[in-house]
Structure 1
Amino acid sequence: MVTTLDDTKRLAIAERLADLKEFQNLIISNDQKLIDACPYLDIRERLENMLSDDRKNLGIIDTVIVQYGIHAEPSAATNIFIQQFEQMMSGNEFTFYQKLIHHELLKHGQAMSGITIHKAAQKVGADIEVAIMPLNTVNFEGRAHQEQLKGMLEQVGVREMTGEDADQGIWARVQDAIATLSGAAGSTITQNTDKKDMNIQTLIRLDHTKVNTIFTEIAATKDPQKLQEYFGQLYKDLLAHAQAEEEVVYPKIRLFYGDKNTLELYSEQAQMKRMLDEIKSINPASANLFRSKVKQLMDVVGDHIRQEEFTMFPAIDKNFSNAQKEQMATEFKAAKSKIQEEMAASRRW
């Protein structure tokens, strides 16, 4: 029988993602504090643009956590740091320039954390790398913000010391050019992946890609412990995905997709759930039987994916506005997150 696997590497990544979300909330809060305290109109406008980007990036981090499928609490060290940082930035001991320096350092730490999570995912599992792929958008835009902040620091520092604007030397012009190019590219990527613009088909397709990746990982390993790890993630991902679709998506599409087609989707997912529980009862050491059942499951899931992507998705495009598809995505993500938390609390896996 497949048993619960306490995979410390996957749990460590979940904790780092929780840390990342807390730091993103801190960055947003600090953006606003700096805007409120900023004595320079041009700097304030650039900070307001960053705040807009950072709010979008929080939506991306939320999406990544739900796609990853393992929830964790932020580390104790993160909670301590955030409390101390907020206290420091709320005081009057530092000039605006000094506070801006600490904000740039915070952005640097956030970007490095995101990059490290991505590198760790490459070592732990291809399915994780697929799940956190949208995080690259946050990493990219964070680096662009760093370059922008360097140029802002140059201006603010000179103004505080001399009351005059800094000359735009070669270094400053290079930094501004990098920031402009990076910011434009980063914003383009963000617009295609943030929670306001990501539609329901995109979210569902992300789930499909991750599941197909896990099937590939199962097929590629002969290690019983790895089989247990991959199937454990597959089990949780498929159940959460199916239940969220049944709660949010299928009731909304039934009117125009038709009773027969919609009931077929429900029926396929009911079959999938039965097969998941059947495989869960098999000892992974019985490799041939285990793989045979997983292959049967993969065929069922593959048929279901094809129906959704080739017939359900076009029907959604035809009958829903962009705003409605984005709203459905928001509801789907919220439902899936709640289901994942309930599964973890009940120790269903």
Structure 2
Amino acid sequence: MVSTLDDTKRNAIAEKLADIKLIQQLIIENEQLFSRESSDSEISDRIRKMLDDDQKNLGVIETVIVQYGIQQQPRNTIQEMVEKIRQIMKGSELSLYEKVFQHELLKHQQVMSGITVHKAAQKVGADVMAAITPLNTVNFENRAHQEQLKGILEVLGVRELTGQDADQGIWARVQDAMAAFSGAVGSAVTQGSDKQDMNIQDVIRLDHNKVNILFTELLQSNDSQKIQEYFGQIYKDLTAHAEAEEEVVYPRVRSFYGENDTQELFNEQAQMKQELEQIKALNPSTSQFKDKVKQLMDAVGDHIRQEESTMFAAIRNNLSSDQTEQMATQFKAAKSKIQERLGKEAVK
């Protein structure tokens, strides 16, 4: 049985990603609450826009977790913290100002967690960097949200202390700060309703990029243990990816992509699975192991090129944006279940 890259460092990153997802869910709950509690139309509108962003960003975080390929539960301390904050937010002990203040701290925590994951990925492996790349956009957007929350806190705080409205120049300053920040990070920041959810092509392409990196890392390594570990990750990633495509994508595209072309994709993946099992039985220290991996890489490369050219074109020409985004959601859900199953099988 080949070993995998599920070592201590990778499991720790998976746990941190689970923490981030749980806190993101709490952030969404808070913003839904604030939009109901606020009587200020300007503040309510800004919170609703943040809520739209954060609901989309939850999808991005879920994509990163599935792409990363290691499922973990949030730490007990984070679960306890989230439950305490949830109860505080629902109660009447704190004013809206105090609740938003706590919310801004959660945003700061998300930013720092995202940066920490990014820095840790740089140390652990190029495949991890590829998997967590979409998280960068979430990090940037959370920074922009922090600027808006600072403005909201000033307005609410002045009203709470004086009963009067704050200088409305606050919003102009907030917009200037957001514009300056957006300029600093360039096109990586997406704003409000202009941002779209990932479609099925985006999600599949992320998988393709990650496995290509893993193949490169394996073939460049001379350490038999690392070679075995890289193959273990390739085995898990390709298996989950193939089964999710066969469950969600190929049946959906068959009617417009064509019976023959779709069946060809099924056949290629069946052959890929056989090759994975053959390599799995080999000694990673032999030259035959790398030769077989190279053959597999070439076959997977041909498969990728077909999907990203003709299949992607057929999807663009026949499905709406909503349909491709819905398919991405279904694909991620299927892949997550497959990953859980593979994880349980590995433990047996």
TM-score by length of 2: 0.92
- Checking the alignment, whether the CA contact within 8 Å between 2:49 and 2:192 is kept in structure 1 is no
Deviation at 1:348, TM superposition (A): 7.5
Deviations for 1:181-212, whole angstroms, at most 9, x for unmatched residues? Answer: 65796334985552xxx222221111111111
> How far is 1:71 from its partner?
0.6
Deviations 1:255-284 (A, max 9, x none): 332332222211111111111111111222
- Percent sequence identity is 58
Deviations, residues 92-125 of structure 1 (Å, cap 9, x unaligned): 3322212111111111001111111111111111
Q: Deviations over 1:3-50 (max 9, x none)?
A: 356411111111111111000001111112222222322212211111
List alignment gaps of at least 5 residues for structure 2. Answer: none
What is the distance in 2 between the residues matched to 1:150 and 1:320?
41
Q: CA deviation at 1:347?
A: 2.1
Residue of structure 2 equivalent to 1:331: 330
Counterpart contact for 2:52–2:193, Cα < 8 Å:
no
User: Cα distance 1:5–1:103, how it changes in 2: closer, same or farther (>3 A)?
Assistant: closer
Preserved CA contact (<8 Å) 2:6 2:70: no
Q: Which residue of 1 aligns with 2:339?
A: 340
- Closer, same or farther in 2 for the Cα pair 1:16/1:193, shift >3 Å? farther
Aligned to 1:187: 190
Question: Is this contact kept in 2: 1:64–1:134, CA < 8 A?
Answer: yes
- For 2:42, the equivalent position in structure 1 comes to 42
The answer (yes or no) to whether the contact 1:121–1:129 under 8 Å persists in 2 is: yes
Q: Cα distance, 1:150 vs. partner?
A: 0.8
- 1:147-166 maps to which residues of 2 (within 5 A)? 147-166=147-166
Q: Report the Cα distance in structure 2 between the residues aligned to 1:345 and 1:254, rounded to whole angstroms.
A: 32
Would the alpha carbon gap of residues 324 and 4 (structure 1) be closer, same or farther in structure 2, given more than 3 Å must change?
A: closer
> 1:177 matched to which residue of 2?
176
Alpha-carbon offset, residue 89 of structure 1: 2.2
Correspondence list, 1:51-90, <5 A: 51-90=51-90
Cα distance in 2 for partners of 1:250, 1:44 equals 43
Alignment of 1:129-140 (within 5 A): 129-140=129-140
Match of 1:267 in 2: 267
Q: Write the mapping of 1:1-349 to structure 2, written as runs, cut at 5 A.
A: 2-4=2-4, 6-167=6-167, 173-180=172-179, 182=181, 186-188=189-191, 191-192=194-195, 194=197, 198-286=198-286, 288-347=287-346
Could you give the per-residue CA deviations for residues 61-101 of structure 1, whole angstroms, max 9, x where no partner exists? 11111111111111111111111212222333322212111
Shift of 1:180: 5.0
Greater shift in the superposed pair: 41-50 or 109-118:
41-50
Structure 2 counterpart of 1:161, one-letter code: L
Whether the 8 Å CA contact 2:111–2:142 is kept in 1: the answer is yes
Moved over 6 A (4+): none
Mapped partners of 2:5, 2:135: distance in 1? 26
Please say which of residues 147-156 and 221-230 is displaced more in the overlay: 221-230
- When residues 191 and 269 of structure 1 are mapped into structure 2, their CA distance, relative to the original with a 3 A threshold, is farther
Point out where structure 1 has 5 or more consecutive residues left out of the alignment.
none
Shift of 1:175: 3.5
What is the identity, as a one-letter code, of the residue corresponding to 1:309?
Answer: E
Aligned amino acid, residue 54 of structure 1: D
TM-score, length-scaled by structure 1: 0.92
Are the aligned partners of 1:158 and 1:165 in contact in 2 as well (CA < 8 Å)?
A: yes
Distance 2:173 2:11 in 1: 41
Q: Distance in 2 between matches of 1:166 and 1:188?
A: 26
Instruction: Name the aligned partner's letter for residue 190 of structure 2.
Output: S
Deviation at 1:306, TM superposition (A): 1.1
Number of aligned residue pairs: 344
Report if aligned partners of 1:211, 1:238 keep a CA contact under 8 Å in 2: yes
Q: Is the 8 A contact 2:2 2:229 kept in 1?
A: no
Aligned counterparts of 2:182 and 2:207: Cα–Cα separation in 1: 29
CA–CA distance in structure 1, aligned partners of residues 48 and 76 of structure 2: 31
Change (3 A) 1:6 1:55: closer
Go from structure 1 to structure 2 and tell me whether the alpha carbon gap of 1:190 and 1:271 turns closer, same or farther (over 3 Å shift): farther
Bigger Cα displacement from structure 2, 107-116 vs 213-222: 213-222
Higher mean displacement: 300-309 or 327-336: 327-336
Q: Secondary structure at the match of 1:187?
A: coil
Q: CA RMSD in A?
A: 2.2
Q: Displacement, 1:324?
A: 2.3
